[in-house]
Structure 1
Amino acid sequence: MDDAATAVFVERVACISCGGGTLQEVCAGRFDEGAVERFIREDPWGEHPAPFLRGQRWSYVACQDCDMAFHRYVLAPDWSERLFSRWMSQEAIAAFEKTLKTPPNKFRKAGEHTAHVLRIEKLTRVLRGSQPTRVLDFGCGYGEFLSMCFLYGFDACGVDRSAAKRDNNTYSRVFAEIDDVAAMAPFHALTLFEVLEHLVEPQALMLRLRDLLATGGILVLETPDCSGVRKIETREEYARIHPLEHLNGFTPETLKGFAERLGFESITRPIACVTSDLDRVAKSLLHPLVTPTTRQYFRKR
């Protein structure tokens, strides 16, 4: 690939959730102008993408049939590979995550991982009987959730496309492709934490993963909540619907619809309180009842 080339994008002409073809543009622009240009320029990168994006257009659309929102234009496969191997280098990832991995954030994340483990253990008791809980974490990153699963005695493995993350993983059983874990199926639980927003063809991927999940198995989906995002002018809006990375903008309603179309039944997640503060216990009990979120649980029909 010519280092002086212009990035190639392909167009998604049908809804990624329902397959509808009636799409309305919500917002659009060019990668080399406005807030998007500024934020891309300020982000940490290995090989900087800006020279390859000059003159290229992004377009965020919404399906008129099911309200699912997503970016119409996505990087062609070879350019997507360049994004994850050269633009998002290990050094760039580390620089970005350094701002996030503060002690309070690490403490909060560990509590969230533990809560998911406790819920999955409860929800899979009848399905697995005396077997250890088998979990597949797709898009497992550095393996923090897998490590928590291991501490609780789960039989867990992960898949992640990023070589940088696989090579620097905290957990040994992480693979590059779905085919690498197919022989370990069926799994009792499947988790995708902040993964669906990155996928060019999320429905096709989920159909492959669904086949690896036991009937009655648990699916845990978590994405950024893009409710109300209609433009990219602030850093927060950019973070939620980043035109290069966050290709799909889920809301609580569209995430639920997406999973149900694939044969999953929405279920209420069990209460799991990982805290010594009584006020946080009360909040964890009430919050799911009054506020829909994009952290949802499903069961395979």
Structure 2
Amino acid sequence: MVSARRLLGRLAYGARYNRVPWGQRVYVRPGERTLREAQWRWRLRRSPVLSLEEYQANVPLGEIEEFLSCTLCGETSQQPLFQPTGGGKWRYRVVRCPSCGFLYRNPNVRPERLGDLYATGYSKFLTGKYAANRQRRYNLTMQAFSPILDHGEGRRLLDFGCGAGLFLELAEQRGFDACGVDLSPDSVAQANERLTKARAFHGAPHDVPEIAAGGFDVITLWSVLAHLPRPLDDFTMFRELLAPGGVLLILTVNARSLLLKAYGSEWSGFTKNHLMFYSSETLPRLLRRTGFAGVGYVPSYGDTIEAGTTRLPDSLRERLRRTVEATDGGNMMRAMAFADDEAIIRWGDRLDIDRLRDASVSKPPLDLTGSAGL
């Protein structure tokens, strides 16, 4: 059965775009960008803003969950926007901070229960269909930020949330002195079977003496940021683990994605274990509060576009690129955070760097949790 949305698209555009992959259509169909941006503005206007007390009164709280105020700015008001679901197996609510625009799951998962999401079966997901083109994505991102990750000789690298070691394997090949940590014990076991020189550890960085000592030239977060329930704590730790001149690479789903504005609760970025959703508008606030000196971005056009394997004709491929660049609306966000001015001078000459105020601050203010105290 054809959905009303698809039927409307066929009536509006005819058959010309039927063969365009669904994830690329909103970027190439004439007028689509304008329509989706207007749709987003309308969603924000008609969605009520509630006090935290009003919100709590009407939302059930799960066993491993807690209510939050905005982690980034402390705002307690909530603007409910989405209710993603996963085939009846899971459901959660996503709210927007009316002060800074941050999108986050609320209720959220309590940090001490985060391991529950990865205790069993997660490595099967990481090494199944999900992993089919994972290393291609890593290579494309490293190329996009060239030369920062081109050569690893004499440089230490930490892959935070290393999963089954797919990136650590590439880091080995590029000469990095690499290690990783992950909350999934079976993923760590698979990673260590895969690796030759690098090593993966189960747990948190402070649990592993050789990691807790710091001195890393590079830290990578590959599709990890959306999984962190206490990002201020984590990013303060990352800043402390980085050596002078160090960089932090971030790949995460993009909360400014045109696909999010088009598909709402059905957006592919709303997955079972995702907790918070960042954009180039909200990420600098997190980095600024945790002591980073600057951040630069590279647009994400999609793996098949960048690898040259898309079915799109040249004219539509170029239209997609222009749309992504004009809206910052790619489905993924790729960012490079710089620990200090030394890092910016050494690595930032090919990027448009957003220099962050208060970059000398090494620790965020008190009350990091954003918890509603429940």
Q: What is the TM-score of this pair, normalised by structure 1?
A: 0.70
Q: How does 1:38-117 map to 2 (within 5 A)?
A: 39-41=87-89, 58-76=92-110, 79-86=113-120, 88-91=121-124, 93=125, 97-102=127-132, 105=133, 108-109=136-137, 111-112=139-140, 114-115=142-143
**Contact 1:8/1:79 (8 A) holds in 2:** no
1:195 matched to which residue of 2?
224
Q: How does 1:253-268 map to 2 (within 5 A)?
A: 253-268=281-296
2:68 matched to which residue of 1?
13
Alignment deviations for residues 47-68 of structure 1 (CA, whole Å, 9 cap, x no partner): xxx6xxxxxx732111122111
- Counterparts of 2:249 and 2:101, CA distance in 1: 22
Percent pairwise identity = 25
**Contact 1:186/1:214 (8 A) holds in 2:** yes
Q: How does 1:275-290 map to 2 (within 5 A)?
A: none
May I ask how many residue pairs the two structures share in their alignment? 252
**Contact 1:18/1:261 (8 A) holds in 2:** no
- Counterparts of 2:250 and 2:73, CA distance in 1: 18
Q: Does 1:147 align with 2:169?
A: yes
For the aligned residues, what is the CA RMSD?
3.5
**Structure 1, unaligned stretches of length 5 or more?**
1-5, 29-34, 42-49, 51-56, 126-130
| 3-state SS in 1 of match to 2:93 | strand
1:178 matched to which residue of 2?
205
| 3-state SS in 1 of match to 2:148 | helix
Alignment deviations for residues 59-108 of structure 1 (CA, whole Å, 9 cap, x no partner): 2111122111101112345654333113x4544x26xx533344xx2563
Q: Does 1:208 align with 2:200?
A: no
What code does the residue aligned with 1:135 have?
A: L
* Rg comparison, structure with higher value: 2
1:22 matched to which residue of 2?
77
| 3-state SS in 2 of match to 1:66 | coil
| 3-state SS in 2 of match to 1:251 | coil
Greater strand share, 1 or 2? 1
Q: Using a 3 Å threshold, how does the CA distance of structure 1 residues 162 and 60 change in structure 2: closer, same or farther?
A: same
How far did residue 249 of structure 1 move? 1.3
Q: Using a 3 Å threshold, how does the CA distance of structure 1 residues 254 and 13 change in structure 2: closer, same or farther?
A: same
Between 1:174-183 and 1:111-120, the stretch displaced more is: 111-120
- Counterparts of 1:135 and 1:207, CA distance in 2: 17
How far did residue 19 of structure 1 move? 2.5
**Contact 1:121/1:133 (8 A) holds in 2:** no
- Counterparts of 1:241 and 1:11, CA distance in 2: 19
